[in-house]
Amino acid sequence: MVFTSILFLLVFLPFFLLAYHLAPVSKRNIVALVGSLIFYMWGAPMFFWLLIVLLVGNFYIVRSMDTSLQPKLRKALLVVSLSINLGVLAYFKYANFFVENVNSIFKELGLQPMQWMEVALPIGISFFTFQSITYTLDVYWKKHSLLDRIWDYLLYILLFPQLIAGPIIRFNTIADEIKDRKQNYTTDYKLSGLYIFIIGLAKKVLIANQIGEQVDVIFGHDGDVSRYASWVGIIAYSMQIYFDFAGYSDMAIGLGKMLGFNFPENFKSPYTSKSITEFWRRWHITLGAFMRDYLYIPLGGSRSSSASRVYFNLIVVFLLSGLWHGASWNFVIWGAWHGVFLIIERAFLLRWFKVVPKFIQLAYCYFVVLIGWVFFRADTLPEAMRYLGNMFGVNQGLVPFADLPEFSFYFFLAIAIFFAFITLTRAGKTLENFFFNTKFTAKQYMYLSPMYFVLLILSISYIGASGFNPFIYFRF
């Protein structure tokens, strides 16, 4: 079940919200957990009980770790918890990738390939594994006390708005709201959530999906398209993935508010960044924060004794960030690409940028991000290299832009570019603050309701006509 389905929008969500808000406040966590279990079981029934067993096991391991007075036992239980979580992630996400690469080596050596039954990937495993890890580490580091009731712990991991594709919510930032969020059960708070949800739905359905149809056509030619088509294609993909993922994040944040939760912001106009360093403070913010606090800083972070050690820490973090996105060399290279530019910026480029015009910084950052998206979008490494060759005239793509775009494609692409860069202006910042204002009164929200109602009707109409349209990040 996806957020952009008729089943979710017109059946599951209304009935769930009705049951949730009719329930006594003391029982709402139970209602939210039951709804989340139904949501996950609907989409991935074959992994449901495995997930429950793993989470219940982790809950009791962490409880034993927290109550132990023996430092060695606490550390041993920490290792057990982390090993189980990372081991499950490694098996389901990377076993196929490992076997494929081993068999490629065996083939070159003339050896028999390993016999292997391909492993299916549980939906949302990258996200709920990370949240399970944050629970373990936050309790171990005494950032917050553990949750006493197992259903509260299960709710933290399985809460359906953020279960499949984030935002990645660190335990210490939401633990208090899991226990008590009565202060957020106000009409204006819930209405702000509803309107943010509708904005996210419109981003996904009315912008990302419209552009994505053409992107699929361009990349469907196995990277063999003209220079013009390849540049238009990757610019369009940069807009598609932004509005697709930011749309999902807005929907998740909005749903969270409807339940009384305050989820962290995940995107902040990333294409207006003037460096890759700034880009990662604006793009997938919760992943960047997770990698910083739970990997980069424990490795030594920026306080390492030498510059080479800092650079090593950065490249390790971004190689793993790339691999986290998917079991493919394309994602590894995408992560390394960003890591290398972060190192270059830290070494000298950011100092040089102090005397460089702003528009050059913007162009540099967007160009670097665009090249990275080629590796992210292409199915294979050879396809990515062919596509880059077409972009820079090294190859002569055979497929022109003849049957590809219609006027509607350029129209929606122009809208996407406009909204992606709108915050570069003062008026754009004002407009963004207006639409994402969470301090309106209920009466003010009601004045805005006709506009949001139109967006909702347009989005549902498109969904009804187009059918299944999952989010890009669901495959991670």
> Is residue 73 a part of any domain in this protein?
yes
Range of the domain at 443: 188-471
Give 434 or 190, the one with higher predicted confidence: 190
Per-residue pLDDT tens digits for 73-122: 999 999 999 999 999 999 999 999 899 888 888 888 888 888 888 888 88
Degrees to nearest 5, angle at CA 315 with 122 and 317: 40
Q: Give the position of tokens 């359905």.
A: 205
Going by pLDDT thresholds of 50, 70 and 90, the confidence category of residue 396 is: low
- 467 and 332 within one domain: yes
Tell me, what's the pLDDT at 404? Answer: 53
Same-domain check for residues 196 and 176: no
Same domain, 294 and 347: yes
pLDDT given for residue 53 in this prediction: 94
Instruction: Provide the pLDDT for residue 402.
Output: 47
Residue 223 or residue 147, greater confidence: 147
36 plus 174 within the same structural domain: yes
Judge whether 325 counts as a catalytic residue: yes
Q: Would the pLDDT of 437 be above 80? A: no
Least confident range from 41-50, 434-443, 449-458: namely: 434-443
Q: Is residue 1 part of a domain?
A: no
Examine residue 176 and state whether it is found in any structural domain, yes or no: yes
State the chain's mean pLDDT as an integer. 89
Together in a domain, 242 and 324: yes
Distance between CA atoms of 260 and 331, rounded to whole angstroms?
Answer: 36
Residue 160 and residue 209 in one domain: no
pLDDT score for 171: 94
* Residue 359 placed within a domain: yes
Tokens of 263: 């989820």
Look up residue 112 and give its two tokens: 């028999």
**Rounded average pLDDT over 200-214:** 93
Look at residue 376 and tell me if it is in a domain: yes
Does residue 88 sit in the same domain as residue 210? Answer: no
Based on the domain organization, do 295 and 436 belong to the same domain?
A: yes
- If asked whether residues 116 and 195 sit together in one domain, one would say no
Q: Are 210 and 176 contained in the same domain?
A: no
Domains held by the chain: number: 2
Averaged over 306-324, what is the pLDDT?
93
Q: What percent of the chain has pLDDT over 90?
A: 62
Predicted confidence band of residue 474 (pLDDT cuts 50, 70, 90)? low
Give residue 401's pLDDT.
Answer: 53
Between these two residues, 428 and 269, which has the higher pLDDT value?
A: 269
Residue 468, sorted as left (phi over 0), alpha (psi -120 to 50) or beta, turns out to be beta
Q: Is residue 96 situated within a structural domain?
A: yes
> Among the three residues 147, 163, 180, which one is the final residue of a domain in this structure?
180
**Marked catalytic residue, from 21, 144, 284, 325:** 325
> What band does 444 get if pLDDT is binned at 50, 70 and 90?
confident
User: 119-167: per-residue pLDDT in tens?
Assistant: 888 888 888 899 999 999 999 999 999 999 999 999 999 999 998 887 9
Residue 278 in domain? yes
Q: Residue 225: beta bridge partners? A: 399
Cis before 298 (ω within 30): no
| pLDDT at res. 432 | 78
Q: What angle do CA 166, 262, 459 make, to 5 degrees?
A: 60
Q: Which residue has the higher pLDDT, 71 or 475?
A: 71
Which among 292-296, 365-369, 454-458 has the top mean pLDDT? 365-369
pLDDT category of residue 370 using cuts at 50, 70 and 90 = very high
Mean pLDDT across 338-358: 93
Q: Which two tokens stand for residue 363?
A: 């162009």
Residues 199 and 347 in one domain: yes
DSSP 122-171: PTTHHHHHHHHHHHHHHHHTTSSPPPSSHHHHHHHHH-HHHHTT-----H
Helical (H) or strand (E) element with 330: helix 329-344
Cβ-count burial 136-172 (b if 16+ within 10 Å, e if not): bbbbbeeebebbeeeebbbbbbbbbbbbbbbbbbbbb
Return d(Cα 141, Cα 101) in angstroms, integer. 38
What are the beta bridge partners of residue 215? none
Let me know whether 175 and 203 are in one domain.
no
Residue 224 has pLDDT above 50, yes or no: yes
Residue 468, burial from CB neighbour count under 10 angstroms (0-12, 13-18, 19+): exposed
Question: Can you give the pLDDT at residue 399?
Answer: 56
Q: Is residue 154 part of a domain?
A: yes
